[in-house]
Chain A
């Protein structure tokens, strides 16, 4: 309720006649934009929790998805532009069935789109118009949009899986990978290094280097950062005996639980509207599986 109150409050302010007609001063316009944007971000917490409850089979595991909203009004979306695999959750807020076109901004390449029943959906890739690319405030790598038409039942959602195919081969700087491996691999792993492991996995010398890293550092506290990196896991498991693999998996299972706590703290920190009690409530929000 207190999360949603932020949006209720902002919507209350927007009933002012100046907000409705646009006769407010420009700095007031900017303040209205700030108020609304912050309130919508806050309200997204509820949507995220709701969708997590619906999509999660096992409440002991951390949420599968980190739901993000995108600036589709300028054909930009950080998730779809930067990820080779992503899920789009589409909700119909109307009380009747709709058939609507959906447009997802993406980078170059080919994509396959799967409906929630696992069947491939007919799609069309359409280049983003130059006029949109030239919008001065737009920050986006998207060059085209995936277009598909979706049927949604009343007040229902669909989860659409999109994956990139025929991935364009990127230039890989092996030198960077080696120079950072000792300092960062077991410590503060950043996204670019993870990507590079994927990119250079056909490079035998690099794989050998990873395999040569002693198994012992897995017990370090810092290693929790490597959780859920399947590509790394496969490489790490290779050449290990069953007992070692079991120990590795146990470690990763434990570190996932730790990760969940950290995630919650991070979410709370990014919402300055809430006081300490409210933030605690958010962090402690239990997630349970509801069956309809």
Chain B
């Protein structure tokens, strides 16, 4: 009874309302793909910045304490079913939330994410990421646009100009994502479009990972002179954003959605208490 399906003309998502997991996506041509969305956090390192191995994670650099991030636990799920939009909401602990939506007639899966206030009671800074996990074999290759114009091929633990051995395998594989990041095999491409510039990577086969929000307690000594610890009413910021996921190789659909997210419709509101419907 916990299994359910939400979908539209383009995507059908098999979900489990008990675990809060999406298990599978079925495309229009009946292709099935393992697909799930999870949120994790990396604990930020806090050192005295006296050596490369004693540097803190801060505003300038991302330096997690361990290479394995902590997966957020599902706290509560909610399914919204309607003609126009179907939503699968998952509250995550600590301080996470994902809302996966499919709209009638729109060719994307939208993930709305909320992170915060990031808890720091344990005096450890945290850096939240979201992972889109699939069974696509991308052989360590992923693609980012970095400057919003040109797509560049990235390869895990690799630099095209020299032989590299990464001392920090997580941040060493992170790249700027302005408009899009994708992985692909010969048949399918999984593209994630963020609504703002974010850091992104693909550390594990079939995964796309994007950094969402960071709250850190130590200065990284690169110049800003204070820790990246933003507070709002003393609690810490709450950040809300959107990703659109497209499982398609159709470039035009992708480009239209990039700009739909970045330059979406502008809304202005006016009271109409003095204007009757007929007059309007």
Contacts and interface: CB of A to CB of B under 8 A. Distances in A.
A89 B103 contact: no
A67 B105 CA distance: 30
A96 B272 CA distance: 30
Nearest to A230: B274
A127 B80 contact: yes
Given A85-B272, A86-B270, A102-B265, A136 B82 contact: no
Interface string B37-72: 000000000000000000000011000000000000
Contacts of A44: 268
A23 B265 contact: no
Contact of A98 (B60, B80, B230, B260): B260
Majority DSSP secondary structure for residues of B touching A: loop
Given A99-B105, A102-B265, A122 B84 contact: yes
Contact of B89 (A77, A129, A230): A129
A238 B167 CA distance: 85
Given A98-B260, A124-B84, A85 B275 contact: yes
A69 B269 contact: yes
B82 A47 contact: no
B34 interface: no
Contacts of A48: 268
B104 interface: yes
A29 B237 CA distance: 13
A108 interface: no
Contacts of B82: 124, 126, 147
B117 A136 contact: yes
B225 A149 contact: no
Interface string A58-100: 0000001111111011100101100111111111111010111
Contacts of B99: 129
A197 B264 CA distance: 40
Interface residues of B, number: 50
A86 B272 contact: yes
Given A70-B267, A85-B272, A131 B91 contact: yes
Query: Interface size for chain A: under 10, 10 to 19, 20 to 34, or 35 or more residues?
Result: 35 or more
Contact of B83 (A101, A122, A130, A159): A122
Contacts of B264: 100
A150 B270 contact: no
A132 interface: yes
Given A124-B84, A150-B265, A26 B238 contact: no
A79 B270 contact: yes
Interface string B69-109: 00000000010101111010101000001010001111000
Contacts of B269: 67-70, 77, 79-80, 86-89
Majority DSSP secondary structure for residues of A touching B: mixed
B85 A88 contact: no
Contacts of A150: 265
Contact of A87 (B226, B266, B270): B270
Nearest to A114: B277
A22 B59 CA distance: 7
B204 interface: no
B238 A136 contact: yes
A63 B28 CA distance: 49
Interface in B207-260: 222-226, 228-230, 232-233, 235, 238, 240, 256, 259-260
A83 B230 contact: no
Candidate in A84, A100, A102 with the most chain B CB atoms within 10 angstroms = A100
Given A64-B275, A84-B273, A149-B103, A92 B265 contact: yes
B271 interface: yes
A10 interface: no
A177 interface: no
Given A79-B271, A131-B91, A131-B114, A26 B265 contact: no
A271 interface: no
30 contacts: A18-B224, A21-B59, A23-B60, A24-B224, A25-B226, A26-B229, A47-B268, A64-B270, A73-B240, A79-B270, A85-B275, A85-B277, A87-B270, A88-B268, A89-B268, A90-B266, A91-B265, A91-B268, A96-B256, A100-B260, A101-B106, A114-B277, A131-B91, A147-B82, A147-B85, A152-B265, A159-B280, A163-B272, A163-B277, A229-B274
Query: When A and B form their complex, which 8 residue pairs have the shortest distance between CB atoms, in order from nearest?
Result: A65-B270, A79-B269, A67-B268, A124-B82, A131-B97, A85-B272, A124-B84, A89-B268
Given A122-B84, A129-B114, 15 more contacts: A22-B59, A22-B228, A48-B268, A64-B275, A67-B269, A68-B269, A69-B269, A70-B267, A83-B273, A85-B275, A86-B269, A87-B270, A88-B268, A96-B256, A132-B114
